[in-house]
Chain A
Amino acid sequence: MAKDSTSIYYTEGLPVPETPAAGKAPKPWEQTDVIGKPWPRVDAYERVSGTAVYPSDILLPGMLYGAILTCPHPHARVRRVDTATAETMPGVRAVVGPETREADLPWSYRNVKSKIFPPVCRFEGEPVAAVAAETPFQAWDAARAIQVEYEILPHVSDERRALDANAPKIHDGGNKVKTETYSRGDVSKGFADADVVLEQHYRTEAELHTPLELHGCVANWDGDELTLWESTQGVYAVQSRVAETLGLPLAKVRVVGHYVGGGFGSKLRTSRYSIIAAVLARRSARPVKLFLPREETYLSMGNRPPSNMTLKAGVKKDGTLTALAFTCLGTGGAFPAGGTSLVDWQIRDLYRCPNISTECTDVYINAGPARPFRAPGHPQGSWALEQMMDALAEAIGMDPVALRLKNIPTVSQGRQGSPPYTTTGLEPCLTEGARQFGWAEARRSLGAAQHKGPIRRGVGMAASVWIVGGGGPPSTVIVKLFADGSANLNMGASDIGTGTKTIMAMVVAEELGLKPEMIRIEHADTGTTQYATPSGGSKTVPTEAPAVRDAAVQVKRQVLEMAADEMGLPVDDLAYEGAAVASRSRPDRRVPITGIEGLRKRGVVVGVGHRDPNPEGKSINPFCVQFCEVEVNTQTGEMRILRFLSANESGRVMNRMSFDSQVIGGITMGIGLAATEMRILDTEQTGKLVNRNWHDYKLPTALDVPADITSAPVEMPDAEANTTGAKGLGEPVTIPTAAAVANAVYHATGIRVTESPIHPLRLCSLLEQQTKEG
Chain B
Amino acid sequence: MMPSFSYVRPGTLQEAVQHLSAKGAVVHGGGTDLLTCLRERIVDVQKVVSIQGLKDLYGVKETAGGGLRIGALTTITEVAEHPVIRERYPGLAQGAAEVASPPLRNQGTIGGNLCQKPRCWYFRGDFHCLRKGGDTCYAPFGENQFHAIFGSGDICYIVHPSDTAPCLSALNAEIEIAGPAGRRLLPAAEFHVLPEDYVMQETWLAPGEILTAVRLPPPPPGLRSTYRKVRARRSWDFALAGVALALQFDGDRVAGGRVVLSGAAPVPWRSRPVEDAVIGKTLDRQTIAAAAQAVVADAEPLAKNAYKIPLFRGVIEEELERISRP
**A701 B310 Cβ-Cβ under 8 A:** no
Q: Please, which residues of chain B bring their CB within 8 A of the CB of A675?
A: 233
Q: How far is the CA of A337 from the CA of B325 in the complex (A)?
A: 57
Interface residue range, chain B:
35 or more
**A635 B315 Cβ-Cβ under 8 A:** yes
Q: Please, which residues of chain B bring their CB within 8 A of the CB of A684?
A: 141-142
Q: How far is the CA of A764 from the CA of B306 in the complex (A)?
A: 9
**A698 B232 Cβ-Cβ under 8 A:** yes
- Chain B, 136-172, contact with A by CB distance < 8 Å: what is the 0/1 string? 0010011101000000000000000000000000000
Q: How far is the CA of A45 from the CA of B238 in the complex (A)?
A: 36
Q: Please, which residues of chain A bring their CB within 8 A of the CB of B143?
A: 680-683, 690
Q: How far is the CA of A686 from the CA of B124 in the complex (A)?
A: 15
Q: How far is the CA of A767 from the CA of B314 in the complex (A)?
A: 11
- Judge if A85 is at the interface, Cβ distance under 8 Å: no
Q: How far is the CA of A675 from the CA of B236 in the complex (A)?
A: 15
Q: How many residues of A contact B (CB 8 A)?
A: 43
Q: How far is the CA of A332 from the CA of B317 in the complex (A)?
A: 44
Q: Please, which residues of chain A bring their CB within 8 A of the CB of B310?
A: 637, 764-765, 767-768
Pick from B101, B121, B233, B236: contact of A691, CB below 8 A.
B121
Q: How far is the CA of A617 from the CA of B240 in the complex (A)?
A: 55
Which partner residue on chain B sits nearest A690 by CB separation? B121
Q: How far is the CA of A137 from the CA of B308 in the complex (A)?
A: 42
**B1 A635 Cβ-Cβ under 8 A:** no
Say how far A428's CB is from chain B's closest CB, in angstroms. Answer: 34
**Given that A636-B315, A682-B138, A690-B122 are contacting pairs, would A760 and B230 also be in contact in the complex, using a CB cutoff of 8 Å?**
yes
Say how far A64's CB is from chain B's closest CB, in angstroms. Answer: 15
- Judge if A72 is at the interface, Cβ distance under 8 Å: yes
Q: How far is the CA of A141 from the CA of B4 in the complex (A)?
A: 10
**B311 A760 Cβ-Cβ under 8 A:** yes
Q: How far is the CA of A683 from the CA of B142 in the complex (A)?
A: 8
**A703 B121 Cβ-Cβ under 8 A:** no
- Chain B, 301-314, contact with A by CB distance < 8 Å: what is the 0/1 string? 00000111111001
Q: Please, which residues of chain B bring their CB within 8 A of the CB of A140?
A: 1
**Given that A682-B138, A684-B141, A768-B310 are contacting pairs, would A141 and B126 also be in contact in the complex, using a CB cutoff of 8 Å?**
no
Q: Please, which residues of chain A bring their CB within 8 A of the CB of B232?
A: 676, 698, 759-761
Q: Please, which residues of chain A bring their CB within 8 A of the CB of B237?
A: 695, 698
Q: Which of B126-142 contact A (CB under 8 A)?
A: 126-127, 138, 141-142
**A682 B142 Cβ-Cβ under 8 A:** yes
**A765 B307 Cβ-Cβ under 8 A:** yes
**A685 B142 Cβ-Cβ under 8 A:** yes
- Judge if A688 is at the interface, Cβ distance under 8 Å: yes
Classify the interface of chain B: helix, strand, loop or mixed.
loop
- Judge if A185 is at the interface, Cβ distance under 8 Å: no
- Judge if A249 is at the interface, Cβ distance under 8 Å: no
Say how far B243's CB is from chain A's closest CB, in angstroms. Answer: 11
- Judge if A638 is at the interface, Cβ distance under 8 Å: yes
**A762 B122 Cβ-Cβ under 8 A:** no
Pick from B2, B119, B306, B307: contact of A637, CB below 8 A.
B307
Pick from A137, A637, A704: contact of B234, CB below 8 A.
A704
Q: How far is the CA of A496 from the CA of B77 in the complex (A)?
A: 36
- Judge if B12 is at the interface, Cβ distance under 8 Å: no
**Given that A635-B314, A676-B232, A703-B235 are contacting pairs, would A760 and B138 also be in contact in the complex, using a CB cutoff of 8 Å?**
no
Q: How far is the CA of A696 from the CA of B1 in the complex (A)?
A: 20
- Judge if B318 is at the interface, Cβ distance under 8 Å: yes
- Judge if B125 is at the interface, Cβ distance under 8 Å: yes
Say how far A663's CB is from chain B's closest CB, in angstroms. Answer: 21
Q: How far is the CA of A335 from the CA of B308 in the complex (A)?
A: 37
Which partner residue on chain A sits nearest B122 by CB separation? A690
Say how far A661's CB is from chain B's closest CB, in angstroms. Answer: 22
Q: How far is the CA of A703 from the CA of B235 in the complex (A)?
A: 6
**A701 B235 Cβ-Cβ under 8 A:** yes
Most chain B CB neighbours (cut-off 10 Å) among A634, A684, A764? A764
Say how far B297's CB is from chain A's closest CB, in angstroms. Answer: 16
Q: How far is the CA of A761 from the CA of B230 in the complex (A)?
A: 10
**B307 A686 Cβ-Cβ under 8 A:** no
Q: How far is the CA of A681 from the CA of B121 in the complex (A)?
A: 11
**B1 A686 Cβ-Cβ under 8 A:** no
**B314 A637 Cβ-Cβ under 8 A:** yes
**A137 B233 Cβ-Cβ under 8 A:** no
- Chain A, 623-645, contact with B by CB distance < 8 Å: what is the 0/1 string? 00000000001111110100000
Which partner residue on chain B sits nearest A694 by CB separation? B236
**A686 B311 Cβ-Cβ under 8 A:** no
Say how far B239's CB is from chain A's closest CB, in angstroms. Answer: 11
Q: Which of B104-131 contact A (CB under 8 A)?
A: 119, 121-122, 124-127
Say how far A334's CB is from chain B's closest CB, in angstroms. Answer: 19
**B1 A761 Cβ-Cβ under 8 A:** no
Q: Please, which residues of chain B bring their CB within 8 A of the CB of A681?
A: 143
- Judge if A212 is at the interface, Cβ distance under 8 Å: no
**B233 A759 Cβ-Cβ under 8 A:** yes
Pick from B2, B125, B145: contact of A137, CB below 8 A.
B2
Q: Please, which residues of chain A bring their CB within 8 A of the CB of B309?
A: 768
Which partner residue on chain B sits nearest A675 by CB separation? B233
**Given that A685-B142, A690-B125, A764-B307 are contacting pairs, would A695 and B236 also be in contact in the complex, using a CB cutoff of 8 Å?**
yes
Q: How far is the CA of A686 from the CA of B128 in the complex (A)?
A: 12
**A685 B138 Cβ-Cβ under 8 A:** yes
Q: Please, which residues of chain B bring their CB within 8 A of the CB of A762?
A: 307
**A136 B1 Cβ-Cβ under 8 A:** yes
Which partner residue on chain B sits nearest A702 by CB separation? B235
Q: Which of A435-455 contact B (CB under 8 A)?
A: 454
**A637 B138 Cβ-Cβ under 8 A:** no
Q: How far is the CA of A680 from the CA of B142 in the complex (A)?
A: 11
Which residues of A line the B interface, CB within 8 A? Answer: 72, 136-137, 140-141, 454, 633-638, 640, 675-676, 680-686, 688, 690-693, 695-696, 698, 700-704, 759-762, 764-765, 767-768
Given A684-B141, A696-B119, A760-B311, 10 additional A-B pairs, CB 8 A: A454-B318, A637-B314, A681-B143, A682-B138, A685-B138, A685-B142, A691-B121, A759-B233, A762-B307, A768-B310
| 16 residue pairs from A and B, CB less than 8 Å apart | A136-B1, A140-B1, A635-B315, A636-B318, A637-B230, A682-B143, A690-B121, A690-B122, A691-B121, A692-B125, A695-B237, A696-B124, A701-B235, A702-B235, A703-B235, A760-B230
